[in-house]
Chains A and B, each alone.
Chain A
Amino acid sequence: MQLKANQYPRESARVLREEPQVRDSVTAATLNFDAKRRQMYGEIEAETWRGWAEAVKNHVLTHLDTYLPQAEAALQSNGVQVHWAENAEAAQRIVAEIARANGVKKVVKAKTMVSEELGINPLLESLGLEVLETDLGEYIIQLLGQPPSHIVGPAIHLNLEQIRELFHRKFGTPLEAPPEDLAGVARKLLREGFLQAEMGISGGNFLVAETGTLALIENEGNIRLSTSAPRIHVALVGIEKLLPRFSDLSVFLSLTARAATGQRLGTFVSLIQGPRRPHEPDGPEAVHVVLVDNGRSSVLADTEAWETLRCVRCAACLNACPVYRQTGGHAYGYVYSGPIGAILAPGLVGLENTKPLPYASSLCGACFQACPVRIPIPKLLLTWRNRAVEQGLQPKAEGAAIRAYAAAMTRPWAYTLGSKALRMLPKEALDNTVLPVVKAWTEGRAGLKPSPKSFRELWKEGI
């Protein structure tokens, strides 16, 4: 999707003003996800699991020089073709070449965020290929021409009426059709797609270095079909998705499902071990794994921000985030939204183009409590804010105001003077003023009312 992160302040306000149903849909769905996640964490020794998952991910990330070659060798011995993509252009080139060499006309997509990150759909469409998203939510937003609004639930911002209206318009279903009927219409169309497509594209939740196993978690069965029905399967996998051992999956598959959707395990878990063997009845003829960097190694080299790469894309932080809940994901203007998006974006595409995102948080800390791999998101948001200041990306007036405030606060006489001045201001000055900060405050909130006497005056008078 097109990067529009710098428009976050305007876009978030616009969504709240013009599309109030988004807040309602997103709030209801995320509260539900979050409650289920808490319930599922409650069943396990969550702190132990989280600590272990954090340690395993830290180990992988600090030993990628060992595990990436190991994964490549294991994949190749499984008969998988391995490609390395340094950036989005390289990934696009690789996918385009695979499609061309195999005479692909139709492509089915399993739900994959990295494909959004790399711009695979626009690429394939520009080559004249037919692309069909097969996750129901993804299919709905594909029909609308929208990017995902949530990492796990891409159509989370829509309500049933909007989907009914869309299906009515596209397929002639009645406006009052029950959700099951709508799913039935989509299922029929998608099944045709699975049977006709020559190529299926997926992401990957985990890639096991030891065995070359690609693990995929889902609830609809569309990922299993996308990766097994077409002749060719292409998996796009970020280099941070590695796990050392097959046995690591036992914790990660369950922990991710608990964090993401409040399930003990995804309804479907596919462990892909390469293309169809001669004795096997089905499966693809060829499997390609594209290992994607696209900015990840520079995040890894960042000694303050590298922990961001532990992310398993469960979206638990989005579900827990009261800021995300107000607008959904589109306002963020970046493929990954919510708290994790706000720290991934500056790391992957640069702070200059994503500067408002680290500020799109009240630092309430709910994201950190939800994160299954304990990414210190609030701390990293602060780190990026500090960098924005250090790099001179913040408005000059803001810097001047903060310096003046710090100067007053380190001089008690100036503070006392300010305290007196606050009480001498005409009431209007604090109700509605030309001062931009006070104006921003009073639009929607009553004016500030200082106590008649400050505490320190009362202390001096005697308590």
Chain B
Amino acid sequence: MRVALFVTCLTDQFFAEAGVAAVRLLRSLGCEVEFPEGQTCCGQPAYNAGYWNEARQMATHTLEVFNEAEYVVLPSGSCTTMVRAFYPELYRDTPQRFTQAEALSHKTFELAEFIVKVLGVTQLGEGLRGQHIAYHHGCHALRELGIKNEPLTLLKNAGAEVVNWEAAQECCGFGGLFSVKLPEVALSMADRKLQTLPKVDYLTSADGGCMLHLAGRIENRKLKLPVKPLASVLWEAHAHQAEG
């Protein structure tokens, strides 16, 4: 099975090791991983800020880059949502591009979702035994795409205890440009997430933006709480078994 990794700009720049983990994990599960080097940003920040012409330019670029892919997998819930749910919206007036966007939409998956739904794997290994983890659901993956149980299943089956977190499904306040347009509100939202968080070994999420925002707030408030990208955690879950 051929998988084109859309690493996303935030993972590329800020969570490079999570991109590496995603490649290793997919290979280890039998996928042939490609990295189309023309890829850049999906355009979501522009789309969410109302700049649809600019978002369309980036979407068109991305459509071309991934045109030949069999599957496209992203270690990011919100970028997956941009490609899958919002790209077709951008081409309502151009049928040819719309068809191309629909085609890309149908072969695009978030990493954990791809592992569970397409590869049919729910047991990656037992590398997370004894770990207490908080999982932050990115809003787009959760509410636009309905991805909720897939990451939790993989984490739990690898031996982790995913703690019951009152605010697990609430927005962390990132929201792209929202986080800098209304920083006080965004930070107050992050504080609500952090105030309700039970004691855990670390926090994980499939969304780079949310993690930058939460980790930035955690460090600013001098809280001792590591934040690890989901792809890295899933590789850790699996590597244990792969090595053993």
Residue numbers of A with Cβ under 8 A of B are 9, 12-13, 16-17, 23, 27, 322-323, 325-327, 359-366, 368-369, 382, 384-389, 394, 398-399, 402-403, 405-406, 408-410, 412, 415, 419, 422, 437, 440-441, 443-459, 463
Contact = CB atoms under 8 A, between A and B. Distances in A.
Contacts, number: 187
A369 B11 CA distance: 29
Nearest to B216: A445
Interface string B184-204: 111111001000000000000
Contact of B20 (A365, A412, A455): A455
Interface stretch (B44-52, B107-115, B119-127, B154-162): B44-52
Nearest to B212: A448
Contacts of A463: 20, 23-24
Contacts of B176: 363
Main secondary structure on A side of the interface with B: helix
B227 to A, nearest CB: 11
A198 to B, nearest CB: 45
Contact of A365 (B24, B39, B61, B143): B143
A458 B43 contact: no
Contacts of B215: 446
B7 A455 contact: yes
B46 to A, nearest CB: 5
Interface range on chain B (Cβ under 8 Å from partner): 35 or more
A451 B40 contact: no
A444 B183 contact: yes
B21 to A, nearest CB: 10
B35 A459 contact: yes
Contact of B139 (A362, A410, A422, A443): A362
Given A13-B182, A406-B51, 12 more contacts: A12-B182, A323-B185, A362-B186, A363-B178, A364-B143, A368-B143, A386-B51, A388-B50, A405-B41, A409-B41, A444-B217, A445-B187
B58 A326 contact: no
Given A402-B49, A445-B220, A450-B14, A327 B185 contact: yes
Given A13-B184, A363-B139, A366-B171, A410 B50 contact: no
Contacts of B140: 363, 365
Residue of A27, A368, A406 most packed against chain B (CB within 10 A): A406
Given A360-B182, A451-B15, A455-B19, A405 B143 contact: no
B57 interface: yes
B139 A446 contact: no
Contacts of B179: 441
A386 B52 contact: yes
Nearest to A9: B182
B25 to A, nearest CB: 11
B175 interface: yes
A361 B49 contact: no
A405 B40 CA distance: 11
10 contacts: A12-B182, A23-B188, A322-B173, A362-B175, A386-B52, A389-B52, A402-B49, A415-B40, A440-B183, A446-B220
B181 interface: yes
B16 A386 contact: no
Interface in B12-69: 12-17, 19-20, 23-24, 35, 37-41, 43, 45-52, 54-55, 57-58, 60-61
A102 B109 CA distance: 68
Nearest to A445: B216
A437 to B, nearest CB: 5
B188 to A, nearest CB: 4
B181 A405 contact: no
B19 A16 contact: no
B174 interface: yes
B13 A364 contact: no
Interface string B131-152: 0000000011011100000000
Contacts of A363: 48, 139-140, 175-176, 178
Nearest to B169: A366
Nearest to B8: A455
Contact of B50 (A389, A450, A458): A389
A437 B177 CA distance: 9
